[in-house]
Every structure is written in structure tokens, then in C-alpha cells.
A and B are shown apart, each in its own frame.
Chain A
């Protein structure tokens, strides 16, 4: 029976300081998401024992594998941790089969035995039998990732780490590979942690998201929690939502940038305000009527998404609106042209910051 991961990781790396706490149990798949350069890969390397901690403690299933204060540091080869590296990192001089057998051989399994079990693993991840003896150079990105996954799973780890497992795969093969990955992850008894900057992958594969930005955890929760109550601009943007941060006093939300929005809420003090782009109305001139929030700006970017047109309006505050293409034509919207924005107070979702 595998146990949970409890990691408190502090690493100084040039300008980046990583300082995060991540807990994960074998019952869930956790995705560590965040923009590039946020420290996600560093976290993964620290958990695998490849990057030395400057501060912190990591336990897996109750046993300490890293503890700076106690001067404990289990080397990578003695950790029950396996890694699917970004870009596969298959051994170029070994066949697919021998790549998968490598971990078992390193742990003392006999060659024939290791190769037989490797064949089973490669079958499970769906690598065609004709590729068993192929060198990595002759495999496609998707095939290489299958081999890399089989190689990691074959060591029967207690903690399985995957770094951008779908990034080196072309769009056509991605869906199929994602399904395979999902099945294999579901079938693995390990604590499973995926690092990705792709929200689609995170949402398809994980039960819980840990958002890391600038070396800090900015949010930790289920998919629904994170996407309906984003706590950072990055998360809001990937969910396609407008997020504002400020302080509520009475019925005004005074934004960090200086502008103010009229809101209808009981929340007081520091708060987030979430506005769906569909709730943002655009006008050619100053709107009249019930909308309490109206301001002018410049339509700085427009692009079609499905059957909706997303319009970025640079004003105070900047906001994204969604209109129908017909509506955009009617408004005679042009990039760089002036436009008025209005949002009803009741359409602004306010929650404590």
C-alpha cells in the first residue's frame, strides 16, 4: 500500500526562489500548473532528488526522503520515485524494449525476465510490437512518450512524476495519447503528479490543481474550485474569465489599479471580482440605463473563438468582452477604435481575497 506525499520545498535558483508546499495522496492525480518559468520543473526535480533542497522536508508514505534540517537526503536511485521527463529522455543507444527494461535491470532483475516484463508494459501503453526493437531516434514523439511512461511505470514507483507529458507530441496524436495516459494513470497505485503549462492537459488528466506562479503556490483546489474561484490572473485567463483584485468598501470595489466597480455583495475587505466576458456589454457611445458600471476604452484585440468574438478593451480597468460576430459588425468595432463597456453590478461575482 502506498502512502501520501507531503512536500515542503524551498530551492534557491538564481533569480527564482521556489517555496511551495504540496500534498498528494494515492487516491488522486494532481496537476501542478502555472506559466513557464514558475518553478514547476524545479519542484519535480527536487521531489525526484535531482535538485538539492535549500530548505524543507519531503516525506513519502511516512518515510523521510529529504529533510534539510536533519541532513537527510535519499539519492534519486534509492527513492521509490519515477519520472517521465519532458521530451522523453530515452536512452538513445538502447531499443524501446531495453529502455523499459533498464530500471528493472538496474534493480538486479535478470535480462530475460526484465525484457519479458518490459514487453508487457509496452503492450499496456499501446506501443506496436514492430517498434519494440526500435531505437528512440526512429520513434515518433508520441511513441517515445509511451516508452517513457512504460519505463517509469515498470519500476513500480510510489510517486510518479510527469513533466509536460504531452508537449512533444503533435496535435494529431495528442488526443489518443492523452486517453492512454489517463487510463494508465488511473490504473497506477502511485501518488501521481503531473507538471504542465497546458490547462487542457491538466483538466483532462488531474483531479486537483496546484497553481504555481513565481515560485509560490497561488491556488490549490479541485478543477471546479480553481476555475470558478480563480485567485490569480493566470488562472482566470486560462479559464477565459476577467479577474479583478481590490478592496470592497460598502458597495464599491476599489481595484489595485485605482479604478472602482460598483458591486452587490456582503464581502468586505480584500476581494476578488470575477466577470464572465459574456456579461460584458459593448456600446458605441455612453450607455444609458441600469448598468452601474460603464467606462470607455479602446478595442485593442479581437479574435474569433468558436461562434463568439472576444474583444480585448484597454480601459480602466482593462477587460475582455464576448460578443457575437453580428454584434461586432453592428457596433462597427475596429481594432484601435473607441468603445464603451458596461457591466451590471449583479453580474460581478465577488469573493474574499
Chain B
């Protein structure tokens, strides 16, 4: 029993110590100036725009995907679900390389659509959004699919017998009832997009004002202005904690 306690304490320390270190080295007195410096403001603006953009992409395309996974029966559904979860376990840098090989100048699609408006995507703000959506969308899809599966189908059937057409049913019954699952998925998805680094830096680089989001800014700053990097890190830590508190009922087993 004592051995178990010691091992558990080590595990706890591994997870908590870095956070304490961050707080200990935080430039509390100059925090406001650090966070409002032009570089930080650019990164902050880009991060907000891109993470919300990625969340929008995930909502528009991910909710229908969750619907298909939860409701349709077709061969290969379990394979599709596995592929959807894959980005959650795939090293993000590999995702970035994959995106380059599709949307890059000589990529699978990039070679053909590179001249369309909004393209090519690599090393653009749009590319950041795509990279973040690739990595973060599974969180939304999985949570929404689980919510749809748990939903009693009879509510939608009742709506149908009352004369509600499919889209009206979805809007007035399905969506409100899976709302909590969808909101939790959206929060996780957004938080993951906000923190995305590997796929972003690989696919979109780290161009100040265009593709340098908070995580890439932290990495770039660390060598030259560590106090700036730590200030931005504290900011991201605070956001992560806020998301966790918002989801505590669902994810920490507290009601």
C-alpha cells in the first residue's frame, strides 16, 4: 500500500510540477505589458480567429459526420469511426505532413486547386484553421456521436408523428437534447485547436501576423524572450483551466 502511494505521488508530481514551475517563473509584475506587446496581441488575435474558425469547420462538417456514425448503418462504419479518432492519437506533426502532401503546391489536390481563391493553403491563416480542424474535430465528433447514441429515439419519433419534418425535428428536438454533449465536444475541440502546435507549424509555419498563433509564438519566443513565452503560457494555462472548470460536471465525475 505504501509503495502504491509513493508511485502515485510521483505520477502526481510529474503532472503538477511543470505547472508550478511555470507559475514560479511567471513575470507577474510585467505580465500586462508582455500580454499587450504587438507580437503577443497579433498571436492572440490569430489564435482566437483560427481556433473559432476551426471550431466552425468542425461544427459544420463534424456534426453531420457524428450523425452518420450514430444513425446510419453501412459497411465500414467501424473503420470510419477508427479513422475519425486517429487524429487524436496521431502525432500532430504527421498530420501536418499529411496536409502538406494533399494541399501543398505539388500535393494531391494542391496541384489542381492551388490557383483557386483562398488557395494555396500552406503558410496561410486558412492553413492554420485547416490544421487545427484536422487535429481538433475528432473531439467534437466523438462527443456528439455519443450524445446522439444515448438519445431516446422516441423523442424524434414523437416529433415526426406531430408533423415535424426532418430538419425541423433536428432543430427543435435532437439539437436541444444533445446540446450538453455537443457543447462539451465543442469546448474540448476549441481548446484543442487553441493549443495546436505540431500540425500548424508543419503545415502553416510561424509567420508573425499570418500564421503565428499563441503556441507557435511561445516556441519562437522561448529562445529570445523567455519571459514573453512564459506570460503567453500562463495565459493558455488559464484558458485550459477555465475549460476544465466549465466541463467539470462531465469530465471530472463531479455533479
Contact = CB atoms under 8 A, between A and B. Distances in A.
Contact of A106 (B152, B168, B176): B168
Nearest to B154: A89
Contacts of A89: 152, 154-155, 157-158
Nearest to A50: B157
B160 interface: yes
B160 A82 contact: no
Nearest to B153: A50
A85 B158 contact: yes
A244 interface: no
Given A50-B157, A85-B154, A85-B158, A77 B163 contact: yes
A77 B161 CA distance: 5
B179 to A, nearest CB: 8
Contacts of A141: none
Interface in B165-210: 165-166, 168-169, 172-173, 176-177
A301 interface: no
A106 B164 contact: yes
Interface in A218-269: none
B162 interface: yes
B155 A91 contact: yes
Contacts, number: 64
A191 interface: no
Interface residues of A, number: 24
B122 to A, nearest CB: 44
Interface string A84-114: 0100010111000000001101110000000
A102 B162 CA distance: 7
B164 A77 contact: yes
Given A92-B177, A93-B176, A93-B177, A77 B160 contact: yes
Given A85-B154, A89-B155, A93-B177, A102 B172 contact: yes
Given A91-B155, A102-B172, A75 B160 contact: yes
Contacts of A276: none
A48 interface: yes
B159 interface: yes
Contacts of A83: 158, 161
A155 interface: yes
Contacts of B166: 77
Contacts of B160: 49-50, 75-77
Given A92-B177, A93-B177, A106-B168, A155 B163 contact: yes
A57 interface: no
Interface string B49-67: 0000000000000000000
Contacts of B154: 85, 89
Contact of B161 (A48, A93, A105): A48
Contacts of A107: 163
Contacts of B168: 106
A81 interface: yes
User: Which DSSP category, helix, strand, loop or mixed, fits chain B's interface?
Assistant: helix
Contacts of B164: 77, 102-103, 106
A151 interface: yes
A81 B159 contact: no
Contacts of B165: 77, 106
A85 B154 CA distance: 9
Contacts of A77: 160-166, 169
A43 to B, nearest CB: 15
Contacts of B157: 48, 50, 76, 85, 89
Nearest to A151: B162
Nearest to B179: A93
A81 B158 contact: no
A93 B166 CA distance: 18
Contacts of B163: 77-78, 103, 106-107, 155
Interface in A327-347: none
A89 B158 CA distance: 7
Contacts of A85: 154, 157-158
Contact of B162 (A49, A92, A103): A103
A83 B160 CA distance: 10
A80 to B, nearest CB: 9
A91 B169 CA distance: 11
A164 to B, nearest CB: 13
Given A50-B157, A89-B154, A89-B155, A82 B162 contact: yes
A103 B164 CA distance: 7
A106 B155 contact: no
Contacts of A103: 162-164
Interface of A: 48-50, 75-79, 81-83, 85, 89, 91-93, 102-103, 105-107, 151-152, 155
15 contacts: A50-B160, A76-B160, A77-B161, A77-B169, A78-B163, A82-B162, A85-B157, A91-B155, A91-B173, A91-B177, A102-B162, A102-B164, A102-B172, A106-B163, A106-B165
Interface of B: 152, 154-155, 157-166, 168-169, 172-173, 176-177
Q: Which 5 A-B pairs have the closest CB atoms?
A: A103-B162, A106-B164, A76-B160, A106-B163, A83-B161
Given A102-B164, A105-B172, 5 more contacts: A48-B157, A49-B161, A79-B161, A83-B161, A92-B155
